[in-house]
């Protein structure tokens, strides 16, 4: 089987958890595409460097909502984001979005940053990677107000089935991570049943959210197979067929 991890942070604390061994272990189980997701602009540059060293790694550029900071100097960082995003080696914009579970960044700054990322993704015709935690009621009106097709991903989907249809209507793919395997994640598994096969994606969000059976240790791209197996069992689908369809979905979306 060929597997595609559509969201991993390979450059997160590399001094403690080097990227190469994780990439190699993932390759051994069939992962042949990695989207290396940036959390800030310096991290995006490092993602780009890593991707230049590995043909199966593809970088993104963006500012995570928890790393947006204050609104005071945001304009200059958005300008820097626009300049960096002009590099065609980046395959997506993000991750961006809203996170009101933490209070690490001002809500107004998060909203302004999100709008800027959406504009850049539209202008560059790239998928946008959306993060949403404890903020779905704030995110949906922003997407509605734009009134346009949004090519991209609701990454690490963490809501119930109620919001899925509207997110799909905006044009988004829905991606599931290791938390869909947790015993208490019934609502996530119900949400997965609403997502059509051609809009479903898999991810690890490594090194976060290790799947059941691997909890308590850093997550890594090799573990995407456990999310695949859990979802296939829940949806009554063949594992190899789901691996093929999610791989094709991601390859088409990221144009890799």
85-133 confidence digits (pLDDT tens)? 999 999 999 999 999 998 899 999 999 999 999 999 999 999 999 999 9
* Residue 69 pLDDT: 86
* Residue 107 pLDDT: 95
Give the domain CATH number at 131: 3.20.20.140
Confidence of residue 252 (pLDDT cuts 50, 70, 90): very high
45-86 confidence digits (pLDDT tens)? 999 999 999 999 999 999 999 999 889 889 999 999 999 999
Q: Quick one: 135 exposed, middle or buried, by C-beta within 10 A (0-12, 13-18, 19+)?
A: buried
Identify the residue whose tokens are 């002009």.
Answer: 86
Helix locations, the chain, DSSP H: 19-28, 41-53, 74-85, 107-124, 136-146, 164-170, 186-192, 224-235, 239-254
Q: Quick one: 125 exposed, middle or buried, by C-beta within 10 A (0-12, 13-18, 19+)?
A: exposed
Instruction: Name the pTM for this structure.
Output: 0.97
For the chain, what percent of residues have pLDDT higher than 90?
A: 97
Res 177 pLDDT > 90 = yes
3-state secondary structure of 209: coil
Domain that holds residue 84: 3-254
Helix, strand and coil content of the chain, in percent to the nearest 5, comes to 50, 15, 35
* Residue 63 pLDDT: 98
Q: Count how many domains the chain has.
A: 1
């Amino acid at each position: 089987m060929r597997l595609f991890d559509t969201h991993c942070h390979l450059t997160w604390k590399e001094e403690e958890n080097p990227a190469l061994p994780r990439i190699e272990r993932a390759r051994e189980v069939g992962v042949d595409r990695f989207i290396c997701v940036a959390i800030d602009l310096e991290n995006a540059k490092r993602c780009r460097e890593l991707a230049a060293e590995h043909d199966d790694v593809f970088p993104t550029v963006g500012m995570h909502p928890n790393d947006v900071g204050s609104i005071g100097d945001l304009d200059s960082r958005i300008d820097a984001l626009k300049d960096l995003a002009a590099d065609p080696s980046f395959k997506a914009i993000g991750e961006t979005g809203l996170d009101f579970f933490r209070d690490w960044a001002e809500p107004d700054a998060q909203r302004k940053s999100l709008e800027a990322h959406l504009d850049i993704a539209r202008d560059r015709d790239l998928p946008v990677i959306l993060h949403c935690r404890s903020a779905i009621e704030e995110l949906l009106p922003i997407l509605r107000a734009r009134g346009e097709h949004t090519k991209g991903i609701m990454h690490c989907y963490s809501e119930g089935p109620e919001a899925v249809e509207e997110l799909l209507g905006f044009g988004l793919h829905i991606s599931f991570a290791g938390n869909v395997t947790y015993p208490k994640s019934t609502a996530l598994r119900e949400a997965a049943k609403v997502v059509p096969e051609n809009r479903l994606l898999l991810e690890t969000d490594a090194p976060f959210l290790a799947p059941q059976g691997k909890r308590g240790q850093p997550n890594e791209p090799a573990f995407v197979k456990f999310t695949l197996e859990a979802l296939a069992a829940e949806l009554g689908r063949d594992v190899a067929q789901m691996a093929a369809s999610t791989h094709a979905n991601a390859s088409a979306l990221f144009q890799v």
